[in-house]
Amino acid sequence: MGRVVVGVTVGLATVACAVAAVAVGGRMRSRGKWKRVVRVLREVEEGCESSVERLRQVVDAMAVEMHAGLASEGGSKLKMLLTYVHNLPDGTEKGTYYALHLGGTNFRVLRVHLHDRQSSVLEHEVERQVIPQHLMTSTSKDLFDFIASSLMEFIEKEGDGSELSLDRRRELGFTFSFPVKQTSVSSGILIKWTKGFSIVDMVGVDVPACLQEALIRKGLDMRVAALVNDTVGTLALGHYHDSDTVASVIIGTGTNACYLERVDAIIKCQGHLTSSGYMVVNMEWGNFWSSHLPRTSYDIDLDSESPNPNDQGFEKMISGMYLGDIVRRVILRMSLESDMFGPVSSKLNMPFTLRTPMMAAMHEDDSPDLREVARILRDILEIPDVPLKLRKVVVKVCDVVTRRAARLAAAGIVGILKKIGRDGSGGITSGRRSDVKMKRTVVAIEGGLYSSYTLFREYLHEALNEILGEDIAKHVILKVTEDGSGVGAALLAASHSFL
């Protein structure tokens, strides 16, 4: 009997040891998986590092590239396009002006009533119209006859109480969101179509002239007074409300910037004179590049798999089109390195499944159990039952990617200020000086990434303070504007109506 007891005891001990060994092995494997997740996170943090020293290097690189782009065509990654806009609205304009925004598969018509400088709220009416599919591949005459007819109908709705009559000359600002080489404030040659348009007879043709001819055919006495880029429209709107506005930045799905430059600093347009001595320059800063930008393997993969590799490098690191997908790529890498997220879902493998608004919602989830993070991972990326500690890792990834984007955007803004001597350094070649008297400097900003994403906005402001120093930064004001592509275009029609 004793031998039986001893045998059972030894057997139970052996089983217990085996169970303990399995448990320990399981914990060690789990710990190993967790370490792999943490290692990926640390690599992302190091790759996205944006110290103030590095940001100042980006500032200097931006200013240098701006100089090069102003010196000659093709001299820089920054196109530094001339807009021929030299007379920004200042709040003294009065009257009724119009805007047409052709930005994609629809267009908008606006009528803006200007009263006087005291009117902080602009009175305007908007009408949207879908462009029939067949007109997107038809002829320039068909497209612009349709748009001109819509303009005519819009004007006819002004009503009996309007001081305007159909035989009165009207001024129009035309925002055309396609690649154009501008040749004057009211003319520009279409370089190529995008966004599903393919009207062959328009490529290489003056776009506003096509619209003007259609307006004449319809018997509508309306002049295209300004061809407008949406970033320039944002600057016009900002300047109308605040004459200290010297630049504008769009940070939304895409990103761009423009600013007011001295004409004598634009070497590639020597001999061109303006009454103000200034001209708005459209930077097309999405294409900016510098070796100082903190680039990761995820950025490299995203770029190589994009329709435009080696193009728009800055935009791919800071704009709303791409931030969500960078985060998706990091989560995918963590899933491949460790099965803590479960089997890799097909949605996680799909580019741009995670849109930036969803990423922002995860980043700003302040619930104790991060339930919004869990919901988005489950519903959007098809990753169910993610434990809380992994949800916290996902939030951290969102934070790292967003913080880098916001800080680089801030460095870009300071680069513009440095170029025009508004960063407190006294100019591009000078060191930081304490005896420079700073002027009040306003930058107009438009786009949901800045206006709707609180943490992005806070990180951008934090970086501005770090780069400039608080004494200088307090003179730089970022002001949100809305609808530069519409209202801003009408304002430019007003400021150029008698030129």
Q: Count each helix (H run) and each strand (E run) in the chain, helices first.
A: 15, 13
> Which residues, in sequence order, are CB contacts of 248 under 8 Å at separation 6+?
231, 232, 234, 235, 238, 257, 258, 259, 443, 444, 445, 446, 481, 484
Give the active site residue among 60, 206, 230, 399.
230
Choose the catalytic residue: 119, 138, 177, 451. 177
3-state secondary structure 301-346: HHHHCCCCCCCCCCHHHHCCCCHHHHHHHHHHHHHHHCHHHCCCCC
Cα 360 from chain centroid (whole Å): 15
Q: Which two tokens stand for residue 148?
A: 């001109």
> Is 311 an annotated catalytic residue?
no
| DSSP conformational letter for 91 | S
Annotation says 177 is catalytic = yes
Q: How many alpha carbons lie under 13 Å from residue 103 in its C-beta half-sphere?
A: 18
**Is 291 known to be catalytic?**
no
Closest CA to 282 of 308, 315, 260, 310: 260
Structure tokens at 374: 């869990």
Cβ(435)–Cβ(472) under 8 Å? no
Among 50, 76, 108, 457, which one carries the catalytic annotation? 108
Q: Are the C-beta atoms of residues 353 and 380 closer than 8 Å to each other?
A: yes
The rounded distance, in Å, linking the Cα atoms of 454 and 411 is 18
Catalytic residue annotation: 108, 177, 230
